[in-house]
A and B are shown apart, each in its own frame.
Chain A
Amino acid sequence: MADTAQNALSGPQGPKPRKRLSRNNILIYGTLIVVALYYLLPLYVMVVTSLKGMPEIRLGNIFAPPVEITFEPWVKAWSQACTGLNCDGLSRGFWNSVQITVPSVLVSILIASVNGYALANWRFKGADMFFTILIFGAFIPYQVMLYPLVIILREIGLYGSLWGLVIVHSIFGMPILTLLFRNYFTALPEELFKAARVDGAGFWQIYWQIMVPMSLPIFVVAMILQVTGIWNDFLFGVIYTKPDLYPMTVQLNNIVNSVQGVKEYNVNMAATLLTGLVPLVIYFVSGKLFVRGIAAGAVKG
């Protein structure tokens, strides 16, 4: 009874108790709704425009909902849109991006998680120094390392190939992922590790049988981080692959910003939506885990 009375008086915990429709509340929700509309507007415009025919776009305004819904722009963007080189649409870029993203995500997470595990549980001499360099490396502009990497990849014969790009993504994903895994593994109870050592388990056995099964959430976070990051990459795709291996972002840019021909805004916007679809789906499905992933980038080591 006393509890309810008190709750009624003080409201939900927060800085200030207030009535539901106070001026303050109107201000807060009003601002947030206006902001939310502003953020949604571009997405809305793209969806709406991608469903219109070209004549309708020329006449009407871009905020108006389509009078006649057509999915033709989507089909065209997927299978017929032209870059300077070929006219088989974005599907080529999509499959390239899949081919790039899957091995890049797996390799980078495998390497970084083993690194983090070694740093957390098997500290060896000099480990901290390498780790510090690695974290510093996260802040070095990529531009400084672009050309040396071209040389390295050319020397090992992987320049312009899919696996060259996988290596590049693994390298540049390493600092943040290693930090993520190291922090997570350090926070696990050390007794587990010690008990496994006493039972005679070795480096890899402990990793596969104890660390990995216990750390699935952090693996999911790392995966979200990497899939969106690698899918959205543009710079490395342009530099380290050849035109027939270009990822979706590069192909999208080539389609949309190509100078020839009439601009087909509906096809272009459908293409843009298609490219944004993978990270958007991951974002909306993963929800809080995505937030955790980006916040992980912000926590200091």
Chain B
Amino acid sequence: MAASRPKSLFRNLNAKIAAIPMILTALVVFTGGTIWTVAYSFTKSGLLPKWKFIGLDQYERLWGSRRWMISIENLFIYGACMLVLSFVIGFILAALMDQKIRFENTFRTIILYPFALSFIVTGLVWQWLLNPDLGVQSVIRALGWESFDFDPLYTAEIAIYGVLIAGLWQGTGLIMVLMLAGLRGIDQDIWKAAKVDGIPAWKTYIFIIIPMMRPVFITTLVIVASGIVKVYDLIVAQTGGGPGIATEMPAKYVYDYMFGGQNLGQGFAASTMMLLAVLIVVIPWAMLEFGGKKRG
């Protein structure tokens, strides 16, 4: 091969042609699309996008709407509970699986299978299980405990926790698998050293193993958190946002206004807020993770 090729547009021409879809996606859809949406969130777009600048009006309306406030509140409740519970449960399960147990594959297969199912399927299943006339409540009442009450999906104040149960069922397996991979990456000598020093296992986990698994925790956190912000199908299938607007979520707000309510401006403003929320999580992580290193 010629060692001194001229550095021109035509160098690596095939590679550049092959990368055209990637370049278009990165520039037109991801960058261009994002800028377009943010820009049009300052306009008076209704049924169709219209370039009529109205400043922050859409945002004022957004933050003044009860439905949006409930969506945000739900996102915080769901997000916080989901993160804490799925991490705690996922880690405990991973730790149990890491005890050189028998049937590890069987247990892992069972705990992870909901992750292969769609949110629609998950939402529908739990809609039935939490249905007071059909699911858990009716079964326990039929066993003789007449006053047993468990109908989260029909009680506005706690409906979001009904969604949480479904979300945990679907997502904890993923966290367990990632945590298990992290645990397997830890040097066995650490365990031996801790044992020689007479440190009990639970203390070893909390003070030695978990701090060592920081990178795994952070990566998992980013993946789970950016998934939580996007929650949409689960709500549509399980509650439809109800009862009333008790389980509305930001992603549903965006969809309903963009494609149902024909009020594009609201949809753009709401999605821009979602983008902002994700950036608050992702940017510090990216700086931590890739800040020092040159290779991405």
The chain A residues found within 8 Å of chain B, CB to CB, are 12-16, 28-29, 31-32, 35-36, 38-43, 45-46, 49, 57, 61-63, 111, 114-115, 117-119, 122-124, 127-128, 130-137, 139-149, 151-152, 170-171, 174, 178, 197-198, 202-204, 228, 231-235, 238-239, 249, 252-253, 256-257, 265, 268-269, 272, 275-276, 279-280, 282-284, 287, 290-291, 294-295, 297-301
B71 within 8 A of A: no
- A176 CB to closest chain B CB (Å) equals 10
Question: Residues of A contacting B106 with CB < 8 Å?
Answer: 36
Q: Is the CB of A28 within 8 A of B96?
A: yes
Select from chain A the residue with minimum beta-carbon distance to B285.
A139
Question: Residues of A contacting B124 with CB < 8 Å?
Answer: 252-253, 256, 268, 272
Interface membership of chain B positions 21-33, coded 1 if the CB is closer than 8 angstroms to chain A and 0 otherwise: 1110111111111
Residue of A115, A144, A280 contacting most chain B CB atoms (<10 Å):
A144
Task: Using A43-B113, A203-B15 as known contacts, list a sample of 17 further A-B pairs with CB atoms less than 8 Å apart, ordered by residue number in A.
Answer: A15-B195, A16-B195, A31-B96, A39-B169, A39-B173, A111-B21, A115-B22, A130-B23, A133-B27, A137-B29, A143-B255, A197-B1, A252-B120, A252-B121, A257-B240, A295-B178, A300-B289
Q: Is the CB of A228 within 8 A of B116?
A: yes
- B187 CB to closest chain A CB (Å) equals 12
State A145–B138 Cα separation when bound (angstroms).
Answer: 44
Question: Residues of B contacting A130 with CB < 8 Å?
Answer: 19, 22-23, 26-27
Q: Which of B82-132 contact A (CB under 8 A)?
A: 93, 96-101, 105-121, 124-126, 128-129
Question: Residues of B contacting A140 with CB < 8 Å?
Answer: 30, 34, 275, 278
Q: Is the CB of B110 within 8 A of A46?
A: no
Q: Is the CB of B99 within 8 A of A28?
A: yes
Q: Which of B178-222 contact A (CB under 8 A)?
A: 178, 181, 188, 191, 195, 201, 204, 215, 219-220, 222
Interface stretch of the complex, out of B52-60, B150-158, B229-237: B229-237
Known: A115-B19, A141-B251, A144-B271. A32 touches B101 (CB 8 A): yes
Q: Is the CB of B138 within 8 A of A61?
A: yes
State A143–B19 Cα separation when bound (angstroms).
Answer: 25
Q: How large is the interface on B (under 10, 10 to 19, 20 to 34, 35 or more residues)?
A: 35 or more
Q: Is the CB of B181 within 8 A of A295?
A: yes
Q: Is the CB of B230 within 8 A of A290?
A: no
- B10 CB to closest chain A CB (Å) equals 11
Interface membership of chain B positions 152-175, coded 1 if the CB is closer than 8 angstroms to chain A and 0 otherwise: 000000000000000001000110
Q: Is the CB of B126 within 8 A of A61?
A: no
Question: Residues of A contacting B62 with CB < 8 Å?
Answer: none
Q: Is the CB of B34 within 8 A of A276?
A: no
Q: Is the CB of B120 within 8 A of A144?
A: no
For the complex of A and B, the 9 pairs showing the least CB-CB separation, nearest first, are A232-B118, A203-B14, A122-B15, A148-B33, A137-B30, A283-B116, A14-B100, A143-B271, A133-B26
Q: Which of A12, A57, A228 contacts B100, CB < 8 Å?
A: A12
- A207 CB to closest chain B CB (Å) equals 8
Q: Is the CB of B254 within 8 A of A118?
A: no
- A294 CB to closest chain B CB (Å) equals 6
Select from chain A the residue with minimum beta-carbon distance to B33.
A148
Question: Residues of B contacting A114 with CB < 8 Å?
Answer: 18-19
Q: Is the CB of B117 within 8 A of A232?
A: yes
Question: Residues of B contacting A132 with CB < 8 Å?
Answer: 296
B148 within 8 A of A: no
Question: Residues of A contacting B243 with CB < 8 Å?
Answer: none
B11 within 8 A of A: yes
Q: Is the CB of A144 within 8 A of B19?
A: no
Q: Is the CB of A139 within 8 A of B25?
A: no
Q: Is the CB of B116 within 8 A of A144?
A: no
Q: Which of A32, A144, A298 contacts B96, CB < 8 Å?
A: A32
Question: Residues of B contacting A171 with CB < 8 Å?
Answer: 25, 29
Q: Is the CB of B134 within 8 A of A298?
A: no
B139 within 8 A of A: yes
Q: Which of B18, B37, B181 contacts A203, CB < 8 Å?
A: B18
Q: Which of B33, B93, B139 contacts A144, CB < 8 Å?
A: B33
Interface membership of chain B positions 268-296, coded 1 if the CB is closer than 8 angstroms to chain A and 0 otherwise: 10111011001000100010010000001
Q: Is the CB of A291 within 8 A of B112?
A: yes
Question: Residues of B contacting A118 with CB < 8 Å?
Answer: 15-16, 18-19, 22
Question: Residues of A contacting B25 with CB < 8 Å?
Answer: 134, 137, 171, 174
Report 15 cross-chain contacts, Cβ distance below 8 Å, ordered by A residue.
Answer: A28-B101, A38-B169, A42-B126, A49-B128, A117-B18, A122-B12, A141-B275, A145-B29, A152-B29, A170-B21, A171-B29, A234-B232, A252-B120, A298-B219, A298-B223
Known: A28-B99, A130-B22. A276 touches B119 (CB 8 A): no
State A124–B116 Cα separation when bound (angstroms).
Answer: 37
Q: Is the CB of B232 within 8 A of A235?
A: yes
Question: Residues of A contacting B12 with CB < 8 Å?
Answer: 122-124
Question: Residues of B contacting A42 with CB < 8 Å?
Answer: 114, 125-126, 129, 169
State A140–B34 Cα separation when bound (angstroms).
Answer: 8
State A204–B254 Cα separation when bound (angstroms).
Answer: 42
Q: Which of B118, B128, B174 contacts A269, CB < 8 Å?
A: B128
B262 within 8 A of A: no
Q: Is the CB of B37 within 8 A of A144?
A: yes
Select from chain A the residue with minimum beta-carbon distance to B17.
A203
Question: Residues of B contacting A283 with CB < 8 Å?
Answer: 112-113, 116
- B171 CB to closest chain A CB (Å) equals 11
State A142–B255 Cα separation when bound (angstroms).
Answer: 11
Q: Which of B29, B109, B274, B286 contacts A143, CB < 8 Å?
A: B274
